[in-house]
Amino acid sequence: MKNQPKIVLASSSPYRKELLQKICPTFESQSPKVDESSRRNEDPLSLSKRLAYEKAMALKTSFPEHLIIGSDQVAMLGDQQLTKPGDYKNCVQQLTASSGKIIQFYTSLCVLDSNSSKHQIDVDLCRVHMKILSEQEIENYVKKEQPFNCAASFKSEGLGIALFNKIEGDDPNALIGLPLIKLVSLLDFFGYEVL
């Protein structure tokens, strides 16, 4: 195998790191310092794409000879964005509001060649059909898994899967935060060979 470009994941998420290890055995990771607030009139697709790009760009000077992977996920319940809840009360409120409804997840990827500043962006759309959940089921779930740092208040890679009727999407990894199918194609574009 030829010399592979060096990879950096612009994230401190343990879930994203675990996913990336499936296709890239060696990489560095660092948390980008990026304000994740949406701009006025910014739709969820534009927001997720912009933040994925900004996260990759935030590490450009620290890693000048690398392929930097930025990823961002925006969860929407209708026209309401579901953010990371932060605490028990907000988790229960989000899951109660989501019960029996469909949540759309826009997961954007940006791969940036920090040397040339060239970049590619792609987006995965995933729809999660939530079960109709009782108050007790919601409280039991939140107490058991404590998904306080997860958009939409669940971990699909864990017990959160019990909250769903079905998932519609091209890549099950996207819901966890890193669409690997699209990432393989983006890395290939920049000369990184997964196989």
- Which CATH number belongs to the domain containing residue 146 in this structure? 3.90.950.10
What does DSSP say about strands 119-130 and 102-113: parallel, antiparallel, or unpaired?
antiparallel
Task: For residue 87, tell me if it sits in a domain.
Answer: yes
pTM: 0.92
35, 43, 72, 188: which is the annotated catalytic residue?
A: 72
Identify the domain containing residue 104 by its residue range: 6-189
Asked if residue 195 belongs to a domain, the reply is no
Indicate whether 1 belongs to any domain.
no
Residue 137: its pLDDT value, please? 97
CA distance 15 to 176: 7
**Domains held by the chain: number:** 1
Q: Is 70 inside a domain boundary?
A: yes
pLDDT digits (tens, 9 = 90+) for 124-155: 999 999 999 999 999 999 999 999 989 899 99
Residue 35 falls in the annotated catalytic set: no
Report, as an integer, the average pLDDT of 156-165: 93
Give tens-digit pLDDT for 112-123: 999 999 999 999
Three-state DSSP string of 63-78: CCCEEEEEEEEEEEEC
Question: For residue 194, is it within any domain?
Answer: no
Average pLDDT score over residue span 99-120:
97
pLDDT at 172: 87
Task: Classify residue 141: in a domain, yes or no.
Answer: yes
Contact 142, 91 (CB under 8 A): yes
Query: For residue 31, is it within any domain?
Result: yes
CA–CA distance, 41 with 47 (Å, rounded to integer)? 10
